[in-house]
Amino acid sequence: MALDSSPTMTLPDLEARRERLLRVLPEAEWELLRPTLAAIEDWKRQRNAIVLAHNYQTPEIFHGAADLTGDSLALAQQAAATDAEVIVLAGVHFMAETAKIINPAKTVLIPDPAAGCTLADAVTGADVRLLRERYPDTPVVTYVNTSAEVKAESDICCTSSNAVEVVESLGVPRVIFLPDEYLGRYVASQTDVEVILWKGHCIVHERFTPEEIGRFRAAYDGQLEVLAHPECPPQVLAAADYVGSTSGMVRHLETAPSPRVLLVTECSMSDNVAVNYPDREFVRPCNLCPYMKRITLPKILESLIHLRYEVTVDPEIAARARRAVERMLVVGRGRGG
């Protein structure tokens, strides 16, 4: 649609984004993206807005449109430190809810409200209440990849990198861990605390297999370092060289010597990380998240123009959910998801 004013993105800003994108995209594609990226910058200034992009977003969003990038919790925390009035969340719906919980005075938008998550959909607040009845006096530890309603019914939240620390901080013999079964199994393997599991799975990570990793290793004569996210099945984690969150993988790459790396997580993360390591080869077992891919540059632009779609959280639910997140921050300092 026609804009109210012509794009005014400055040349230095545009060139900085161009240089990064050309490490993963051809010049012709950049020329096609350029007008939309310039328009997004113009509307961000008009709205006093910022775009937050999760690690799993496509490169044109991650490097081309985003002001802040990272995992969902880190994005929400970083946004709180800015003076932006509007947050456009390039991620999935529970991430936008988390951003609203931590930034209650800001307007939070998600470009496509159908950008959901199989993990967040796997458990409800009613499920948590039933579990409390079945296991009285057992704390509920909830992964941040959940709805605000589920967070509100929980004792404490965790990320994939601080989950073990959070569980052990409670000083109890048993916890309920929601909703990711595989992350919960990984936590159980790292602690003596009994972990009661829920059968929630990530649509991306559950598809990886140890046989697939074996085929990649064979194709490269074993000259391959495998980094796997703990949302993957246990057999996949056993076949990996390193297990960690998305932020943990990035930290590991800063010191890992291997010239050839396979990231066993959502495919776009390899594209985004590769920009910073031009001397490394990133092998891509390309499992895409269909929900993340609902977010596009045109939808981000439309979201800014029309201030849609706004994400709200009931204040009472938000207050209870915020307590669960804040308890985690005291324990685990909120390291990445």
| 25 shares its domain with 111 | yes
**Burial zone of 189 (CB within 10 Å; 0-12 exposed, 13-18 middle, 19+ buried):** middle
Q: Which 3 state secondary structure label does DSSP give 200? A: strand
Contact 224, 258 (CB under 8 A): yes
Domain count, the chain: 3
pTM of this structure:
0.89
**Burial zone of 279 (CB within 10 Å; 0-12 exposed, 13-18 middle, 19+ buried):** exposed
Domain-embedded: residue 328 = no
Where do we find the tokens 């939240």?
Answer: 157
Q: Max alpha carbon distance in the chain (Å)?
A: 62
Per this entry, what is the length of the chain?
337
For residues 35 and 29, give the distance between their C-alpha atoms in angstroms, rounded to a whole number.
11
Q: What are the b/e assignments for 111-124, b being 16+ CB within 10 Å? A: bbeebbbbbbbbbb
Domain termination residue (choose one: 188, 203, 218): 203
Domain-embedded: residue 143 = yes
Domain-embedded: residue 312 = no
Domain-embedded: residue 244 = yes
Tens of pLDDT along the chain (337 residues) come to: 333 333 333 445 777 888 888 888 889 999 999 999 999 999 999 999 999 999 999 999 999 999 999 887 788 788 788 899 999 999 999 999 999 999 999 999 999 999 999 999 999 999 999 999 999 999 999 999 999 999 999 999 999 989 999 999 999 999 999 999 999 999 999 999 999 999 999 999 999 999 999 999 999 988 999 999 999 999 999 999 999 998 899 899 988 778 999 999 999 999 899 888 888 999 988 789 999 999 999 999 999 999 999 999 999 999 999 999 999 988 855 444 5
Domain-embedded: residue 330 = no
Domain coverage including residue 43: 11-116+292-306
| 42 shares its domain with 87 | yes
Where do we find the tokens 């994400």?
Answer: 311
Q: Indicate which CATH number applies to the domain containing 249.
A: 3.40.50.10800
Domain termination residue (choose one: 203, 238, 270): 203
Locate all alpha helices (DSSP H) within 222-265, ordered by sequence: 234-238, 246-255
pLDDT at 1: 30
Single-letter amino acid, residue 237: L
Single-letter amino acid, residue 75: L
| 89 shares its domain with 141 | no
| 39 shares its domain with 84 | yes
For residues 166 and 48, give the distance between their C-alpha atoms in angstroms, rounded to a whole number.
36
Strand (E) or helix (H) holding 57: none
Domain-embedded: residue 326 = no
Whether the link from the prior residue into 186 is cis, omega within 30° of 0, is no
Domain termination residue (choose one: 203, 219, 235): 203
pLDDT at 131: 98
